[in-house]
Amino acid sequence: MTFRIGLLVFPDITQLDATGPYEVFIKFPRAEVRLIWKSLEPVKAGGGMLLTPDTAFADCPQLDLICVPGGAGMNPLLNDEETLNFVRAQAAGAKYVTSVCTGSLVLGAAGLLKGKRATCHWMSAHMLEAFGAIPVAERVVRDGNIITGGGITAGIDFALAVAAEILGEDTARAIQLGLEYDPQPPFDSGSPARADSALVERARSAAAARQRDREAAVELAANRALES
């Protein structure tokens, strides 16, 4: 039986949020992996890579797993009713509702994370609280049928955890081996808990404008949810 997986793509997405899990998901036996957006027009990821959706919202069948990646372009999605309605409708019938990086904020804006443990990119994790979620500083967090991955590179960890859940640990290990996923980073600075504090502050400063926009979009989305 076909297992339908759908990854949302959108303008200014962080492509690795989607392509990392995609590389794992296409190894699932009998999987059908779709890239989904409002139309089939190519979308430009952050940095310029073009991603071509193969399924439009209106033509998407019920998914077994929906995944919402993140990136700067998810800010507008927090108050985009067309996207939020699509995510809600799919989540109602999906076996697994998932995200990578700041995609969890979109799940929150869709009303899917109230009282749920979830993770996000470290710089935006506190914003989950506006949607009634419980932020957890882990690479992969599961709460019921909701599975969220941390920032960007955690998408591969997330997808392998999903593989173990659906296919069993042996198959997940085989996929990991096939991908030669054996991270040995040259620097121990991939987490704010371990990176030099001055480096963390520089990262925050560089992202300040985007984060202000995101805070405003989160506040608006949370207020809209309270009023509805």
CA distance 204 to 207: 5
CA distance 49 to 29: 28
Say whether 101 is catalytic: yes
In 3D space, the residue among 201, 155, 157 whose CA is nearest the CA of residue 7 turns out to be 155
Asked if residues 130 and 81 have their Cβ atoms less than 8 Å apart, the reply is no
CA distance 189 to 204: 14
Asked if residues 4 and 64 have their Cβ atoms less than 8 Å apart, the reply is yes
Name, in order, each residue with C-beta under 8 angstroms of 25's C-beta and a sequence gap of 6 or more: 5, 7, 31, 33, 159, 162
Q: Which residue of the set 60, 67, 101, 120 is catalytic?
A: 101
Q: What is the DSSP string of 196-219?
A: -HHHHHHHHHHTHHHHHHHHHHHH
CA separation, residue 223 to residues 76, 120, 213, 220 (Å): 15, 21, 15, 5
CA distance 133 to 119: 9
Tell me which residues are annotated as active site: 101
